[in-house]
Amino acid sequence: MKTIDVFGYSFNAIKLRKLRAALTTLGVIVGIAAVVALLSITQGLQATITSELNQGLSANTLIVRPGSGGDVGGFGQGASGTGFSLYMNYTTEINALSPDIEASVAVMSRSGYIQTENLKQSATLYGIDFNQYAQVYPTFKAETGSIPTDPSENQVVVGTRINQPGQNGTIFFGTGDTIDISWVNATVLPPVDESYRAVVAGVLEEVGGFGSSGPSDTGVYIPIETAQSFFGTDQCDMIIVTLKDSDNATVTSVSKAITDHFSNQVSVTSPTAMIDMLSSVFDTIQLFLVGIAAISLLVAGIGIMNIMIVSLIERTREIGILKALGMKSRSVLSIFLAESAIIGLIGAIAGIGLGYGLAVIVAQVLGSGVFGGGGGALAITPLLTPTVFVGALAFGIGISVIFALYPAWRASKLKPVEALRYE
Amino acid sequence: MINMISKNIAVVEALNVKKTYMLGKVPVEALRGVSFRVEQGDFVSILGPSGSGKSTMLNLIGALDKPTAGTLLIDGVDIGRLNDNQLSDLRRRIGFVFQFFNLIPRLTACDNVELPMSIADIGKSERRKRALELLETVGLKERINHKPAELSGGQQQRVAIARALANNPKFLLLDEPTGNVDSKTASEVLSLIQNLNKEHNVSIIMVTHDEKLAHQAKRTVKMFDGEISSDEVN
């Protein structure tokens, strides 16, 4: 029997029992949709986070913080309480540690706030060398105004959420305006508010939700010399080290050299390692979720097997007729498998569509607030990769065919004499 | 000369054919050594009461089953030596007409006639053409797109005969051809069969318990208790 005739005959048989076929297909649709939705969402999320991280953290940088707690790749601010402090002039020591080091930049940071006539807005205050920092982070770039290469002591650069905190088009101040910058000095008792008046030289381009150590939309950037006197210290909070190479070996050896040099009293964080770790976490989560979703496919498969066995019993006589008319066992097997494959194909295609649709809806819900919360909404674009598409299609058809194997085999083994006698 | 030889080729030849069933643990001898011969162009009826072994004979001649002992040649092939696949192929050369018509209910008359050709790998356009010819031959030109449920018993029987003829079989094998139709339809079906035999030289084997019907054939083989009790030209 020709393949096209096998499928024609099978399709005809499916058409006869539309409701039953539809319900069987629904099982496949639900299973495939669950798998595709989860894969599209997690892969989209992964791509978004990885790209935002890549923007916020240059791959060839290491971040050195005081404290011995953090492993390479850790998210934390580093353990504190060891009494160890980083000083700005340690950059020279670090630069001498390895020929793979390009440069080191010291960063001071304090929680503070800024104030204008009609806005009081909390902010993270960073004391940095503008030129060096811009070299490390390409995202440290002015959208309006400019980043002064030789800043006077009262010039500052602010993140985009500082002068338009609502992200709704209302801009409270622009370049050339003056703002009051304050922080609460808790090193003296009682704590005192320290502030000074600065002129906004530039507003940064939007960075995005993830920039845990790179430029931030809620940051206020003060020239390092100003910061030293304003914060009253030479201690810095982190030193960013740029490497000539971003491969794993270099990252590992330089990280080790730095921690060794400071007798394990610093933690060194590598964005590359962080992204790697995040990716592997995502892979695990994805595998777990897809595994759960795949169980529903298993259930669908059992449904198919069940319905095929019912169909086999109902059609015993028909199989007898087909065999009496000269149909080979192989063709009987093909007819049953083809029926199942058609159900699998329709189920898979509808499931992929439904799954992707669900992913788009979920992404919109996530993007519109649950994750966002005003601190930088996470815009996820669900990803339906060709691999997922083809995989889901193959899986849907595969499951259907595998579970139809036993009923189909039994059908093909029916003896014509007995099958014809069957009422 | 050639004509004469071809006329004498046996389409079915049974030599001491035995068939034993196991009914639970009890062996039942359905055929106890049957020998007969059906030649090209013959019209033979196999007559017998129930339990005579005629249904077993029908299944063997239809290549649906294999004999326990003896030799059964169908179109010159010893079916005892064939595997399942080869039996399937052989069945395409036999035009089986079932007692209960056994049409596929969801297929139209035309699709039912096309089915054996589809099984025999014949292309769509060719089989459609032949199906239409056959339905015309059996007088059902107007009913090609009707499903079996929309046809009368006699019409269904005609579709079944057209289907049996689809692959140009060596012979038609009919099981109680008039068993499920009224007497008027029965005589119409019978004349169709006689016509096929006479005009189209189709060899016919008809299995029945109806003595009157059996004697309409050219020859009647009577069976009783698993053996042939008589074999006479009518």
> B56-75, pLDDT tens digit by residue?
999 999 999 999 999 999 99
pLDDT, tens digit, 9 for 90 and up, residues B187-231: 888 888 998 899 888 899 999 998 888 998 999 999 999 999 988
Distance CA B145, CA B147 (A): 7
Give the pLDDT of residue A348. 94
Distance CA B95, CA B199 (A): 17
Distance CA B127, CA B119 (A): 11
Same domain, A95 and A228: yes
Neighbouring C-alpha atoms within 13 Å toward the C-beta of A384: 20
Give the pLDDT of residue B145. 93
Q: Is residue A306, in this structure, part of any structural domain at all? A: yes
When divided into structural domains, chain A yields a total of: 2
Give the pLDDT of residue A209. 57
Domain extent listing, chain B: 43-65+81-233
CB atoms within 10 A of CB A112: 20
Do B94 and B74 touch, CB atoms closer than 8 A?
yes
Contacts of A136 (CB under 8 A, 6+ apart): A58, A61, A103, A105, A240, A242
Same domain, A247 and A396: no
Task: Give the best-scoring range by mean pLDDT among A174-188, A250-264, A289-303, A330-344.
Answer: A330-344
Same domain, A168 and A94: yes
Residue in A15, A317, A323 nearest the CB of B88: A323
Same domain, A36 and A127: no
Same domain, A193 and A293: no
Domain boundary (A231, A261, A291) is at A261
Distance CA A67, CA A70 (A): 7
Q: What is the mean pLDDT of chain A?
A: 84
Q: In this structure, what token pair is assigned to residue A104? A: 């080191």
Confidence grade of residue A48 (pLDDT, cut at 50, 70, 90) = confident
Say yes or no to pLDDT of A344 above 50.
Answer: yes
Same domain, A227 and A294: no
Q: Is residue A267, in this structure, part of any structural domain at all? A: no
Q: Is residue A62, in this structure, part of any structural domain at all? A: no
Same domain, A98 and A245: yes
B-contacting residues in A 7-66 (Cβ below 8 Å): 9, 12-13, 15-16
Say yes or no to pLDDT of A78 above 70.
Answer: no
Q: In this structure, what token pair is assigned to residue A12? A: 């005809």
Same domain, A20 and A144: no
Do B98 and A422 touch, CB atoms closer than 8 A?
no
Domain boundary (A207, A233, A261) is at A261
Q: In this structure, what token pair is assigned to residue A414? A: 């029916």
Q: What is the mean pLDDT of chain B?
A: 89
Contacts of A186 (CB under 8 A, 6+ apart): none
Of B167 and A364, which is predicted with more confidence?
A: B167
Q: Is residue A16, in this structure, part of any structural domain at all? A: yes
Give the predicted TM-score (pTM) of the model: 0.72
Same domain, A104 and A248: yes
Confidence grade of residue A373 (pLDDT, cut at 50, 70, 90) = very low
Q: At what angle do helices A329-365 and A271-314 cross, to 10 degrees?
A: 140
pLDDT, tens digit, 9 for 90 and up, residues A137-189: 878 888 888 888 888 888 999 888 888 877 667 788 888 888 999 988 888 78
The CATH homologous superfamily of the domain defined by B43-65+81-233: P-loop containing nucleotide triphosphate hydrolases (3.40.50.300)
Contacts of B205 (CB under 8 A, 6+ apart): B12, B38, B42, B44, B45, B46, B61, B171, B172, B173, B174
Distance (Å) from the alpha carbon of A350 to chain B's nearest alpha carbon: 27
Confidence grade of residue A369 (pLDDT, cut at 50, 70, 90) = low
Give the pLDDT of residue A54. 67
Same domain, A113 and A229: yes
Q: Is residue A44, in this structure, part of any structural domain at all? A: yes
pLDDT, tens digit, 9 for 90 and up, residues B144-194: 999 999 998 889 989 999 999 999 898 999 998 887 778 888 888 888 899
B-chain CB neighbours of A13 within 8 Å are 106
Give the pLDDT of residue A335. 94
Q: Is B118–A1 a contact, with Cβ atoms under 8 angstroms apart?
A: yes
Range of the domain at A233: 85-261
Do A364 and A46 touch, CB atoms closer than 8 A?
no
Helix boundaries (H) for A325-385: 329-365
What ipTM was estimated for this complex?
0.91
Distance CA A50, CA A380 (A): 12
Q: Is A326–B120 a contact, with Cβ atoms under 8 angstroms apart?
A: yes
**In which region does residue A86 sit, left (phi positive, over 0), alpha (psi from -120 to 50) or beta (all else)?**
beta
Same domain, A332 and A296: yes
Same domain, A331 and A380: yes
Contacts of A343 (CB under 8 A, 6+ apart): A14, A21, A24, A25, A28, A304, A400
Give the pLDDT of residue A80. 46
B-contacting residues in A 323-362 (Cβ below 8 Å): 323-331
